[in-house]
Amino acid sequence: MKISGVELVRIELPLTSPFRTSFAVETVRDALLVRVVSDGAEGWGECVALADPVYSSEYVDGCIDVLKRHFVPALVSAGPIGAHEVSPLLSRFHGHRMAKSALEMAVLDAELREEGRSYARELGATRTVVPCGVSVGIMDSHPELLAAVGGYLEAGYRRIKLKIEPGWDVEAVRAVRREFGDSVPLQVDANTAYRRQDVAHLRRLDEFGLLLIEQPLPEEDLRGHAMLAARLETPVCLDESIVSAAAAADAITLSACSIVNVKPGRVGGYLEARRVHDVCAAHGVPVWCGGMLETGIGRAANLALAALPNFVLPGDISASERYYAEDITTPFTMADGHMAVPEGAGLGVAPIAAVLDRRATHREWLTP
């Protein structure tokens, strides 16, 4: 496929309510979309980096810069190229996995649209629907938390994830268990908010029968996670630490986790995400698909990924209305706690032009 042009589209989508984690409070999604145009088709990618480098070292302005200065020029000067060649082509540039993922995603979408094949088929999906989970941010009070959780359960979500941090953890979980019972699939996500000396405190979460505790310690601290995993009854899941299939293999070998959260942007793309899935499956480690407040573009690709066989736990794949009153694609809806995997060519969805025009804050064409 010969690339004739690449467009960077920056958009702002207001969230339906503030989303608070241990590292930030988001009220607006400042997102970067990448459009790749070839002679036969066009494809879309979504960069999941946040506006500030608080979840990872990447941030939107930095992703735009590295795409303009390095990645797009390398891509268009390479001549005809397939999606599987994008990662090797960009491998000489260190890091910037989220930016790489967005570009590879767009190339893969264009390639599959041209060939009439779906993302799900390309990745190896074995299901046509996937169960939906929801991530609940840190609240100002327990009553506010219980009202939110109750609403999501009533809507049909199959799993609840609570964001936690020191001061908002044990008692918040206790309140949810007391209100909704032990049968609700419940897990917690710390986003690196704790340290090794907090192990005794984190052990207090064992009484609640959680599915897992996600990324309690800093991403570099695999030894600390191994120590923690040996002392907790609650399974330890890694998120920020898993930046590649090789990192997943190391974490599993070190017994630093027994479950893995797969985020395609964090590992450099959906093709690498599939390799993470395969490594974990080979070791008997279940995985689930994490979320980064994606628009309908990223949500469509995540659904295709989450339909692979080793995604045995519900992921953070929520209905569009969970975050956005107006998405840039046709909204994704949930039925009986599940969402259908797009079947059309490529991602199976594309931005609605009128919505994109309203929400775009910057558009820039990068041509050969």
Positions marked catalytic: 163, 263
Domain boundaries, the chain: 3-116+349-366, 121-340
Q: How are beta strands 236-238 and 213-214 bridged, if at all? A: parallel
Residue 24, pLDDT > 90, answer no
Sign of CA dihedral 84, 86, 87, 92: positive
Q: What is the pLDDT, as a whole number, of residue 189?
A: 97
Alpha-carbon span 75 to 2, nearest angstrom: 10
Taken as a whole, the chain contains a residue count of: 368
Percent over 90 (pLDDT), the chain: 95
163 three-class SS: strand
- The pLDDT confidence band at residue 22, using thresholds 50, 70 and 90, is confident
Give the ranges where 268-314 is alpha helix by DSSP (H): 270-282, 296-306
pLDDT tens readout for residues 108-154 = 999 999 999 999 999 999 999 999 999 999 999 999 999 999 999 99
Alpha-carbon span 324 to 318, nearest angstrom: 11
pLDDT tens readout for residues 244-281 = 999 999 999 999 999 999 999 999 999 999 999 999 99
- The mean per-residue pLDDT over the stretch 225-235 comes to 98
> What average pLDDT is seen over the chain?
96
Q: What is the pLDDT, as a whole number, of residue 186?
A: 98
- Surface-to-core class of residue 49, CB atoms within 10 Å of its CB (0-12 exposed, 13-18 middle, 19+ buried): buried
Residue 26, pLDDT > 80, answer yes
- The pLDDT confidence band at residue 368, using thresholds 50, 70 and 90, is low
Picking from 36-45, 130-139, 284-293, which range would have the lowest pLDDT averaged per residue? 36-45
Contact call for residues 259 and 294 (beta carbons, < 8 A) = no
**pTM of this structure:** 0.95
Contact call for residues 122 and 273 (beta carbons, < 8 A) = no
Residue 36, pLDDT > 70, answer yes
CATH number of 3-116+349-366: 3.30.390.10
Q: What is the pLDDT, as a whole number, of residue 208?
A: 98
Contact call for residues 323 and 14 (beta carbons, < 8 A) = no
What are the Cα distances from residue 269, in Å, to 99, 104, 150, 187, 365? Answer: 9, 7, 34, 26, 22
Q: What is the pLDDT, as a whole number, of residue 1?
A: 84
Q: Give helix 245-253 / helix 270-282 axis angle, nearest 10°.
A: 20
Exposure pattern of 231-269 as b/e (b: 16+ CB <10 Å)? ebebbbbbbbbbbbbebbbebbeeebbbbbbbbbbbbbb
121-340 homologous superfamily: Enolase-like C-terminal domain (3.20.20.120)
Do the domains 121-340 and 3-116+349-366 match in fold?
no
What are the Cα distances from residue 190, in Å, to 145, 169, 212, 236, 240? Answer: 16, 9, 11, 11, 11
Q: What is the pLDDT, as a whole number, of residue 306?
A: 98
pLDDT tens readout for residues 46-81 = 999 999 999 999 999 999 999 999 999 999 999 899
Q: What is the pLDDT, as a whole number, of residue 32?
A: 98
pLDDT tens readout for residues 299-327 = 999 999 999 999 999 999 999 999 999 99
Residue 367, pLDDT > 80, answer no
Q: What is the pLDDT, as a whole number, of residue 248?
A: 98
- The pLDDT confidence band at residue 39, using thresholds 50, 70 and 90, is confident
What is the C-alpha end-to-end distance of the chain, expressed in Å? 14
